[in-house]
Amino acid sequence: MAPRKAYETELEELDRKVEEMAKKSKEAIALATKSFEKLDQELADEVIRLDSQLFQLNVDIEKMCLEVIALQSPVAKDLRTIGTYLKVITDFDRIGRYARDIAEVTHHSATMAHFKPLVSIPHIAEMASKMVDLSVQAFIDRNLDLIKEVFDLEDCVDSLYDEIFREAITYMMEDSKKISIGINYMLVARYLERIADHACNISERTVYMVTGERVVKD
């Protein structure tokens, strides 16, 4: 196989692996949020298993990238592309870690009860998951048109996080018995907000990969 063809084949396999990481990341976000919403310990355990799978994919993709560098000696844009893969998989690994953190909050909340039906937390999770989906699609397709929506959604996530924080503080001040679960609300919302930040990171890295220019979301 010609060197360039071999390189392109390896990139296609890397894309497939990254898409697999993205799929598992979104699954972890959804399951983690549902585990907290339902205080479901079995779902929380499933998230922890997914996090382990994401870690292994991270290791596998990193190994593939290093092999490409060693065997193909990429330069210029090709080297920038491989470097972006190495950065992006770190973001996905962190997304999995935050989903696991939410699952661990679920474990700690096993004997508690929500003081209201959860609406805002599933909503922020849905937006964060959509950001991950758009970011990976932009990365795989090299489609920078999708990135504006990612950045716009991040502003919505930040606003909703602030609302959840203020609401939880209000409930905790009114009733000291709600402090523990209120703190858990704030933790879960914070973890979801950080997941959204990592989706932004993926978009920023995609811009750099395609154009060579560094863009940082304000």
- Tell me the pLDDT tens digit for each residue of 124-157: 999 999 999 999 999 999 999 999 999 999 999 9
Contact 120, 186 (CB under 8 A): no
CATH number, domain at 27?
1.20.58.220
Q: What is the pLDDT of residue 148?
A: 94
Q: What is the pLDDT of residue 10?
A: 86
- Confidence check: pLDDT of 72 > 90: no
Contact 88, 139 (CB under 8 A): yes
Please state the domain count of the chain.
1
Q: What is the pLDDT of residue 163?
A: 93
* Span 74-122, pLDDT tens digits: 778 888 999 999 999 999 999 999 999 999 999 998 888 887 778 899 9
* Span 148-198, pLDDT tens digits: 999 999 999 999 999 999 999 998 999 888 898 899 999 999 999 999 999
3-state class percentages of the chain: helix first, strand second, coil last, to nearest 5: 85, 0, 15
Contact 196, 61 (CB under 8 A): no
Burial of 109 (0-12, 13-18, 19+ CB in 10 A): buried
Q: What is the pLDDT of residue 114?
A: 84
Residue 216 located in a structural domain: no
Q: What is the pLDDT of residue 216?
A: 76
**Tokens 């990365």 identify what position?**
139
Residue 206 located in a structural domain: yes
Residue 162 located in a structural domain: yes
* Span 6-61, pLDDT tens digits: 778 888 898 899 999 999 999 999 999 999 999 999 999 999 999 999 999 999 99
Return the closest-CA partner of residue 213 out of 157, 141, 165, 144. 144
Residue 217 located in a structural domain: no
Phi, psi of 159 (to 5 degrees): -65, -40
Q: Using alpha carbons only, what angle is made at residue 12 by residues 57 and 90, rounded to the nearest 5 degrees?
A: 35
Q: What is the pLDDT of residue 218?
A: 66
Segments forming the whole domain that contains residue 21: 3-211
d(C-alpha 69, C-alpha 60), whole Å:
15
Residue 218 located in a structural domain: no
Residue 146 located in a structural domain: yes
Residue 95 located in a structural domain: yes
Residue 108 located in a structural domain: yes
